Copies of this chain bind each other. A is one copy, B any other.
Amino acid sequence: MARPPRYDETQLLDAAVRLAAAAGPTAVTMTAVAKEVGAPSGSVYHRFPQRPALLAELWLRTVERFQAGWLAALAAPGDPVAAAAAAARHVVAWSRLNPREAAVLLYGPDDYGRADWPAGAAERAARGTAQVRAALAGLTGRLGGADPEAVTLALVDLPLAVVRRHLRAGAPLPPGAERLAGLAATRLLAPGADTGA
């Protein structure tokens, strides 16, 4: 018994992703989102009571979509080094398929105003990072005493580094990017040489 929505949450968040990818988190103003979808600003406030709520949802939706595939890639049984390489390659492959969402992730939650997020959002973010931490710890164990710093680097930060400059420039990823990320992860975690302590 109600008027049907004309601008739904998904539509507004998609617009926010475009804005953030093009010009960074600060470009995601309520006014800009409204203009992007052709709505008056009041309609945006109907979905998201304040700007921090929109930014939180923008960040969380994106990061959760990303993590789902990453965790799946990492969960592959068998050789842990191969699983690590698969996860590293996944980061690049996902970025290639979703360049705008990947560009969102090049910034950190603080850049999306985490300090002002509504109550539930902080916990949702914590759950996500806890999952990632657990997965990293699990792999560290399977690798038999590797440096946790090296593991985090190989599986998360390094593949993002492969992708970063291209995404920032709005350029397509080079053909060998997945392979480079996988190779770097493999070499970094391969047994036989100590990875520090």
Contact across chains for B176 and A147 when beta carbons are under 8 A apart: yes
Segment touching B, from A52-60, A74-82, A159-167: A159-167
Nearest Cβ distance between residue A193 and chain B, in whole angstroms? 8
Beta-carbon contacts under 8 Å, A26-45 to B:
26
Q: Give the residue name and chain of the B residue nearest to A177 (CB).
A: B149
Segment touching B, from A9-17, A94-102, A178-186: A178-186
Q: Give the residue name and chain of the B residue nearest to A108 (CB).
A: B168
Question: Interface 1/0s, chain A 153-197, versus B by CB < 8 A?
Answer: 100011011101100100000101101100110011000010111
The reply to whether the CB of A24 lies closer than 8 angstroms to some CB of chain B is yes
Chain B residues whose C-beta falls within 8 Å of the C-beta of A64 in the assembled complex: none
Contacting A196 at CB < 8 Å: which of B153, B180, B196?
B180
Contact across chains for A24 and B110 when beta carbons are under 8 A apart: yes
Interface size grouping (class) on chain A: 20 to 34
Contacting A24 at CB < 8 Å: which of B111, B165, B197?
B111
Q: How many copies of this chain sit in the oligomeric assembly?
A: 2
Contact across chains for B196 and A176 when beta carbons are under 8 A apart: yes
Contact across chains for B183 and A195 when beta carbons are under 8 A apart: yes
Chain B residues whose C-beta falls within 8 Å of the C-beta of A165 in the assembled complex: 152, 157
Contact across chains for A168 and B110 when beta carbons are under 8 A apart: yes
Contact across chains for A197 and B176 when beta carbons are under 8 A apart: yes
Contacting A158 at CB < 8 Å: which of B108, B110, B161, B196?
B161
Sample (29) of A-B pairs whose CB atoms are under 8 Å apart: A23-B110, A24-B110, A24-B111, A26-B26, A108-B168, A110-B168, A147-B176, A149-B176, A150-B183, A150-B184, A153-B161, A153-B184, A157-B161, A157-B162, A157-B164, A158-B161, A160-B161, A161-B161, A176-B196, A180-B195, A180-B196, A183-B188, A183-B195, A183-B196, A184-B184, A184-B188, A187-B188, A187-B193, A188-B188
